[in-house]
Amino acid sequence: MGELRRKPLIIATVLLCAAVFAVTGRIIGFDRALHLISGPGVGESAFDHPVYTIAESAVVLVLVFTHAWRAPVLLAVPSIVALVLVVEHAAFYRPHISLSRADAVQLMLILSIIMAAGGLLLRMRERSRAALAAAAEERARRDERLDMARELHDVVAHHVTGMLVQAQAALVVAQQDKDKACEMLPGIVEGGTDALGAMSAMVRTLRDNGAATATTDLTADLHRLVERSGLPVRTSIELTGDVRPELGRSVLRLVQEALTNTRKHAFDATSVEVDVHLTDEAVLLSVVDNGKVRPTQSGGFGLVGMRERVHELGGRFFAGATGEGWLVTAELPLEVRA
C-alpha cells in the first residue's frame, strides 16, 4: 500500500484512540481513566448512550478490519493492538446498562478477533490471487517463447538443406572447375546468414500450442483464418511481395489471437476489421472491433503473448480501447535480427 493510503489510516487510528479515551474520561473522569480506577460515572452522560457505544464500537472494529486487510504488517500490528487496548479499557471502566464489565470486555475482544481474522483472510486471498496471476502471466510469456519450436525446425531445415545442396554441388563442380565452385560459395554464405538471422529471431519466442500454420500464400491463409473465425469480418489485405515464412507465421498467429480475443471478450461486436499491409520495411497489421462487452479482468493472457512475440521480433505492438471498441496493431520488420 502506498504512502497516500498509510497516512489516512495512521491519522484515523490516532484520532479514534484519542476520541475513545477522551469519551471514557468524560464519562468516568479523566483521573479515574488515567489511574485505572473503576467506579460510577462522574462526567457527562451524553456519550453514555447505547447508540453511541454501538456506533463507536463499530467504527473501531471497521478500522481493525481495515488494518488487518490493507495496512503493512509493521503498521497493522501496533495499530490493532492500540485499538483493542483502548476499546477494552472503555468496555471495562465505563458503566453499562445491559452488560456486565466482564461480558463487555469479552464481547469486544471476540469481535476484534473476528474482524482481524476476516481482514487477514482477505489479505491472504488477495496475495494468493496476485501470485496466481503473476504465475499465469509468466506461463503465458514462457508459452509464447515456445510457440515457434516447430517453426524453428522448419526454418532451420529449409536454410540448412539449401546450404547442404549448394555445398554438395560445389564439391562435385570443384573436381572439374574450381573457379566455378568458388562462385557458389557466396550463396552458401548468404544461406548461412539467413539461417542465423531466422534462428535468432525465432529462438526467442518458442512455443507450440496448436497455433495456425502458414503456407507460402499468406494472403490465402489470412482469408481462410477470417472465414473460420465466425465473426463479421471485413478484410483489407495488401501483400504485394513475398514474406519470409517465419514472419508470415507470426502475422497469422497475431491475427488469429486478436480474433480469438474478440470472440471471447467482445461477443457483442457487429463489425471487425482486419488490415494487413506490406511496406518496404515492415508488415503492418491491425484488428479493430466495435464490441462493448470486454471485462477489465478476463483472466486470459493472449495480449501478453502477442506483445512478447512482436517485441522479440523487433517490432512494435499496441492493444487498447478506442472508445468505440478494441484495437490491436503490430508492426513487424521484414529484416530479421541477427
Are 322 and 235 in the same domain?
yes
What's the CA gap between 152 and 154, in Å, rounded? 5
Residue 213 lies in a domain: no
Whole-number Cα distances in Å, 288 to 37, 219, 221, 285: 74, 19, 19, 10
Mean pLDDT of 286-299: 72
Alpha helices in 175-301 (DSSP H): 178-183, 185-202, 218-229, 245-265
Phi, psi for residue 83 in degrees, rounded to 5: -65, -45
Q: How far is CA 157 from the centre of its chain?
A: 37
In this predicted structure, what is the pLDDT of residue 110? 93
Cα 134 off chain centre by: 7
Query: Left if phi > 0, otherwise alpha if psi is -120 to 50, otherwise beta: which for 289?
Result: beta
The mean-pLDDT minimum among 172-181, 212-221, 245-254, 313-322 falls in 212-221
Q: Do 248 and 302 lie in a common domain? A: yes
Do 183 and 231 lie in a common domain?
A: no
Reference 226, options 252, 197, 265, 192; nearest CA is 252
pTM metric for this prediction: 0.45
Q: What is the tens place of the pLDDT at every residue in 163-215?
A: 777 787 778 788 787 777 787 777 777 777 766 666 665 554 444 344 455 55
Give me the pLDDT at residue 133, please.
Answer: 74
Domain assignment of residue 209, yes or no: no
For residues 246 and 276, membership in a common domain is answered with yes
* pLDDT tens-digit readout, 100-151: 888 888 999 999 999 999 999 999 998 888 888 777 767 766 665 666 555 5
Long-range contacts of 66-69 (CB under 8 A, 24+ apart): 66/9, 66/119, 67/9, 67/13, 67/116, 67/119, 68/115, 68/116, 68/117, 68/118, 68/119, 68/120, 68/122, 68/123, 69/118, 69/119, 69/120, 69/122, 69/123
Provide the domain count of the chain: 3
Residues 174 and 233 occupy one common structural domain? no
Does any domain span residue 212?
Answer: no
Judgement on whether residues 83 and 171 belong to the same structural domain of the protein: no
Q: Which of 109, 138, 167 is the last residue of a domain?
A: 138
pLDDT in tens, 42-90: 555 566 677 888 888 899 999 999 999 988 888 889 999 999 999 998 8
In this structure, are 132 and 12 located in the same domain? yes
Which residue range is the domain that position 279 belongs to?
218-333
Same domain, 17 and 117: yes
In a domain, 72, yes or no: yes
Residue 338 lies in a domain: no
Residue where a domain terminates, one of 87, 115, 138: 138
User: What single letter denotes the amino acid at residue 46?
Assistant: A
Give the domain CATH number at 245: 3.30.565.10
pLDDT at 83: 92
